[in-house]
Structure 1
């Protein structure tokens, strides 16, 4: 049986893959001319930079998520760490939606806090497990 932390990790990878697809579609009019408006403009021109920025964000704070999960894969985990991992993934999805679909920086910051706290919780578990050994 696979480790339960693999699924939230795979879900985040799937989110990143989806963002790559979205970015490719959003850039297609400018790069390949596919989907250009009659005037030659890109219908995704306003949203493309937000998709790109969000995709970059998937390689910043999530690094700490993966590090904690990999350590917990080796040292053992609890239901609480699995819950925190899924909270992180749900928070990343919400963060992506807010960053791509809105320009509301305050809301984006609030949603990011979900991810931030979940990863801090995972690291607290990592440290507690390390202190017990």
Structure 2
């Protein structure tokens, strides 16, 4: 079985997870803990796939750092500020960066770049 055929369902599941995260977030309260575990799990899974497949290039590393900075911003806003709008923006920034990382990785794998 080709690597593409094995990874395609993973990419579809990741897409579904992002869709549900964004859809549920629009209806959830800022204190919703599920997102706090969902995003890092998707991040860890991406890195766990990219490393052994030798696709953890400079783009992935730079986006990883941007993602981690957004998580720090979100964590700071969670523990300090009560402004749910700022926390929501930090969370959304992390989601968009992680989504960009997954799209980049999926395109590299599926198009064999």
Cross-structure match for 2:61: 82
- Gapped runs of 5+ residues in structure 1? 1-52
Q: Secondary structure at the match of 1:115?
A: helix
Match of 2:51 in 1: 73
Q: How many residues align?
A: 82
The Cα shift of 1:57 comes to 4.9
TM-score w.r.t. the length of structure 1 is: 0.54
Aligned position for 2:3:
none
3-state SS of the aligned residue for 1:112? helix
Q: Which residue of 2 aligns with 1:122?
A: 101
Contact 1:98 1:104 in 2 (8 A): yes
SS at match of 1:74: coil
TM-fit CA distance, 1:56: 6.4
* Larger RCO (CA under 8 A, 6+ residues apart): 2
For residues 116 and 98 of structure 1, the distance between their equivalents in structure 2, rounded to whole angstroms, comes to 16
Q: In terms of Rg, which structure is larger?
A: 1
For 1:61 and 1:101, the matched residues in 2 are separated by 21
TM (norm. structure 2) is 0.63
SS in 2 for 1:127: helix
Report the CA distance between 1:55 and its aligned residue: 7.5
